[in-house]
């Protein structure tokens, strides 16, 4: 039995994207959102990785490949119901479960590892990733008692005015102890809409056992992408992260505000990237190159000490 398994929930319809493309397949810096999430999980833990998908999930399966496992949620009855669909596959394979959403491309492996570490060190039945956001509009509020203990997660639609003023919000990333999780999921009560939610599960956990919380390294890591506006916000944040990573690795980027480097691109040391340059797809750039100004390079290999100008 593995210490951890991970479940990525990717069965949502994503109607607010107004697209024929499954929401989790929309790209951030040239890479599908669900692939950002799956890669972060793989770096954080080596146990089973399961993706919950809708019945018509061929495109998602094609994107992620056969190196992970899939479970279908035929009848969309909420996030708690989606997680329950993985019980048959995972019940005897992992002591703890990491649960997250496929539309959160900014999550970092280091944050997932911190969540798992806090969960184990605290002996918790459930551990949540929480953060403070002002305004906290649209997100579930973390309710604590006078001692600071988490007692509830209240969705904004159900929150009182006092609760809506709470700045600490649920990030939507969870660690669960499996021997507690499966019975609790089966006994979970439906919401007024008839759906079963993970936030209701946290409420049960707060009554029955220890619930821990941990914060992300960056507040934006918990951002879920539900529409094209949020997609553009995730794109901007990811682009800044990618550019910073390459600059710290020895690449000169003379004008980050006009430089675009996709997530799967690699750039060698001492290469200089000039303004208005885009490196896309799976492009590989060697060392001591000069790119731009005004270059667009996609799915190409550029050797060491090459110049690519206005291409």
What residue ranges of the chain have pLDDT lower than 50? Answer: none
Q: Domain for residue 8, yes or no?
A: yes
- Structural domain contains residue 239: no
Contact 128, 173 (CB under 8 A): yes
**Same structural domain, 72 and 206:** yes
11-44 in b/e form (b: 16+ CB < 10 A) is bbebeebeeeebbbbbbbbbbbbbbbbbbbbeeb
Do 300 and 168 reside in the same domain of the chain?
no
Question: Are 46 and 95 found together in one domain?
Answer: yes
Q: Specify whether 16 is located in the same domain as 64.
A: yes
- Contact criterion met (CB below 8 Å) for 32 and 25: yes
**Is there a single domain that holds both residue 73 and residue 164?**
yes
In sequence order, the β-bridge partners of residue 144 are: 150
Is there a domain that residue 108 lies in?
yes
Q: Are residues 267 and 143 in the same domain?
A: no
Q: Residue 223 has what pLDDT?
A: 94
The structure tokens listed for 278 are 């885009």
- Residue 64 in domain: yes
Catalytic positions: 16
At 263, which CATH number? Answer: 2.160.10.10
Query: Quick check: 128 and 118 in contact, CB under 8 A?
Result: no
Q: What does the pLDDT read at residue 191? A: 86
Of 179, 206, 222, which closes a domain?
222
The answer to the question of residue 242 being in a domain is: no
Check whether residue 50 and residue 128 sit in a common domain.
yes
In a domain, 120, yes or no: yes
Which of 268-277's residues contact partners 24+ apart within 8 Å by CB, and which partners?
A: 268/304
User: Residue 13: its pLDDT value, please?
Assistant: 86
Range of 186's domain? 2-222
The number of folded domains in the chain is 2
Same-domain pairing of 261 and 152: no
Residues 281 and 176 in one domain: no
Whole-structure pTM value:
0.95
């Amino acid at each position: 039995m593995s210490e951890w398994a991970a479940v990525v929930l990717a069965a949502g319809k994503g109607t607010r994207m107004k697209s024929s493309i499954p929401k989790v397949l929309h790209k951030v810096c040239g890479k599908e959102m669900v692939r950002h999430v799956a890669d972060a999980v793989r770096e954080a833990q080596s146990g089973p990785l399961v993706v919950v998908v809708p019945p018509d999930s061929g495109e998602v399966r094609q994107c992620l490949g056969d190196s992970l496992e899939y479970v279908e949620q035929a009848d969309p009855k909420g996030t708690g119901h989606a997680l329950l669909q993985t019980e048959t596959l995972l019940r005897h394979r992992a002591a703890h479960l990491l649960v997250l959403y496929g539309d959160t491309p900014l999550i970092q492996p280091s944050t997932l590892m911190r969540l798992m570490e806090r969960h184990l060190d605290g002996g918790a039945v459930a551990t949540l990733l929480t953060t403070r956001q002002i305004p906290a509009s649209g997100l579930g509020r973390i309710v604590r008692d006078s001692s600071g203990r988490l007692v509830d997660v209240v969705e904004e639609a159900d929150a009182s005015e006092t609760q809506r003023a709470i700045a600490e919000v649920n990030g939507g990333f969870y660690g669960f102890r499996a021997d507690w999780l499966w019975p609790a999921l089966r006994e979970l009560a439906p919401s007024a809409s008839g759906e079963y939610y993970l936030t209701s599960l946290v409420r049960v956990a707060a009554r029955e056992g220890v619930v821990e919380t941990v914060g992300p390294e960056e507040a934006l890591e918990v951002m879920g992408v539900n529409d094209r506006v949020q997609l553009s916000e995730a794109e901007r944040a990811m682009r800044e992260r990618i550019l910073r990573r390459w600059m710290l690795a020895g690449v000169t980027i003379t004008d980050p505000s006009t430089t675009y480097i996709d997530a799967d691109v690699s750039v060698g040391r001492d290469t200089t990237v000039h303004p208005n340059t885009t490196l896309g797809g799976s492009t590989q750039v060697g060392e001591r190159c000069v790119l731009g100004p005004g270059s667009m390079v996609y799915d190409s290999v550029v050797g060491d000490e090459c110049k690519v100008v206005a291409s």
